[in-house]
Amino acid sequence: MRNSYSPSPAALPLLLWKTPPGLEQILAQEGVPYEVVRDPHPFVLRGGRFVVFDGRTTPRAALASMLTAEHVAIDVDAIRREEAEDPFAALIDTRAARASWPVGFHRVSERVARRPRGTIRRRVIDRLRHAVTASGGVWIRLAPFPYPYRSAFSFRADLDEPVPHDYFRFAEAREPLADCCTHFVSTHAYSQHPAVLRDLVDHDAQSHGHFHHVYRDAEANRINLERAHRILAGWGIEASGFAAPHGRWSAGLDDVLEDFGYRYSSDFQLGYDDYPFFPWKGDRFSRVLQIPVHPVCEGLFVEAGIGDGQAVGDYLAAVVEARLSAGELAVAYGHPERRLGRMPEVMAALARVVDQSSLVWRATFTSIARWWRWRAERQWLAISREDGRLDLQFAEWDDEYPMALEVHRGEFRGSIPVTGPRMTLSLGSLVYERSDDGAGLPEPPTIERRTPSLRDAVRTAIDWETVTPLGEIPTTTLPNRVKRGLRWWKHRRGRARAS
């Protein structure tokens, strides 16, 4: 967006000159306006006072001839040097690792994203905000949720197994949260249970694939997703979202989702406990929005020997309460079959904490995705005036959602609703409150450092799974032929033992 009204550079947007993609990702999450500079023309540079660059690839001296005395250059390599590892590389890391969380005297374990993106985001943004405000700038962002909400809650239910009785028991417990619950359906599990699918038509229902597996082969994923999509559509469920079984993400899977026109996905092996984001795919950002969840479900408790539903509910309620208090997105998830359907205490505990919290947006995944994508399209700038005021200008005005702007000044934050495409803001007239910036959030999990066994390496290499019918495993690749042969051998061995 260009500033054509002020002879001096605008206070915002930030101008990014050859910066790492991880920075763009978190600025978009935060709702801070920025513009990627492709051509350092003086007219372009007049669009922002703060020029952010990476001293690792661009020497500061190289910017001298481009900037005026009114510009401020900020080197993000200074932020990088304050971290134990490169935060910008961590923000676009798509690898997963096994991690563990303490729960009383126990530990629960799950394979999740290798890096805690949300924690890194808050830390980097805090340092960048300090650099801008210390140089006389202002830090304003679009609020992460529609006005007047200060946080948001959603629940994700993964329907993996065909246990209709448990589903309907879960549906009773779900009632207080039905307006903010999204169901991801494995159609292989439920295509033969019309009562469940009829009930899901009246709720937010999305795709969990047909067979409960993410394949290494892109074509196998395409077939799996297409089958699920067709079955759901046959019941009047037009899926626009997907959740990968076991939270497993890959660029190839993402390609398939893009081809199908899916709007969002939710894969905790890529990201968890964070604002929604668009993943970096090596040369561009994905068109599929990621909606992170808290990756600890009731199944991990059962695996750790904790079968008490109240213990599960207390843990998840505490996580949700902390995230709501910090003004973040709180998303819990679980499985109705054999678990939540028999643990009504879990949904009851979550409903209590959400009801007791103020200004919480209760939203489905589909509503969150629609809002977040709309918010990402807003373009605006802030122009400083000599009397201490700011002129705010929005391009291509759209009032589909009520918005708010948040002004951050040191440890304090003020909020004001957006009333139109042009506003004048006096920073001194705002009412400010202390912002904790995530100080009360739980620590990230402990990443378990261990070398995969030969058995695990082989299973990964051949994409081992037992959910796809033997006759549907293609033989076009060597790994698939090996998997099919081992599955056939295992089947024959089982039959021999049974006889």
**Averages of pLDDT over each 10 residues, the chain, 499 residues:** 60 96 98 92 83 93 87 96 96 96 92 97 96 95 97 98 97 98 98 97 98 92 97 97 97 96 98 98 97 97 94 97 96 97 97 97 98 97 88 94 94 92 91 80 88 83 89 86 88 76
Q: Is there a single domain that holds both residue 314 and residue 430? A: no
Residue 265 pLDDT: 98
Residue 398 pLDDT: 93
Buried b (16+ CB within 10 A) or exposed e, 113-145: bbbbbbbbbbbbbebbbebbeeeebbbbbbbbb
Q: Is there a single domain that holds both residue 188 and residue 313? A: yes
Alpha carbon distance 294, 384 (integer Å): 40
Q: Is there a single domain that holds both residue 126 and residue 217? A: no
Q: Is there a single domain that holds both residue 161 and residue 73? A: no
Question: Does 306 fall in a domain?
Answer: yes
Question: Does 138 fall in a domain?
Answer: yes
Q: Is there a single domain that holds both residue 134 and residue 29? A: yes
Residue 5 pLDDT: 46
Give the pTM: 0.94
CA distance readout (Å), 404 to 84, 274, 413: 35, 20, 12
Residue 499 pLDDT: 66
Dihedral sign for Cα atoms in the order 204, 336, 227, 464: positive
Q: Is there a single domain that holds both residue 234 and residue 361? A: yes
Residue 72 pLDDT: 95
Alpha carbon distance 52, 49 (integer Å): 10
Q: Is there a single domain that holds both residue 338 and residue 287? A: yes
Q: Is there a single domain that holds both residue 206 and residue 129? A: no
Q: Is there a single domain that holds both residue 158 and residue 138? A: no
Q: Which of 371, 394, 423 is the last residue of a domain?
A: 371
Residue whose pair of structure tokens reads 């803001």 in the numeric block: 425
For 203, residues 6+ apart whose C-beta sits below 8 A from its C-beta are 178, 181, 182, 183
Residue 240 pLDDT: 98
In the DSSP assignment, the letter for residue 342 is G
Nearest to 295, CA basis, from 317, 314, 315, 267: 267
In the DSSP assignment, the letter for residue 184 is E
DSSP 186-223: -HHHHTT-HHHHHHHTTSEEEE--SSS---SSHHHHHH
Question: Does 473 fall in a domain?
Answer: yes
Angle 184-188-189 from CA coordinates, rounded to 5°: 70
Residue 283 pLDDT: 95
Residue 4 pLDDT: 45
Q: Residue 153 CB: number of other CB atoms within 10 A?
A: 23
346 with 313: CB under 8 angstroms?
yes
Q: What tokens appear for 152 in the block?
A: 């948001």
The domain in which residue 464 lies consists of 454-498
For 415, residues 6+ apart whose C-beta sits below 8 A from its C-beta are 143, 404, 405, 406, 407, 430
Q: What percent of the chain is helix, strand and coil (3-state, nearest 5)?
A: 40, 20, 40
Total number of domains in the chain: 3
Q: Is there a single domain that holds both residue 121 and residue 163? A: no
Nearest to 247, CA basis, from 271, 276, 223: 271
416 with 68: CB under 8 angstroms?
no
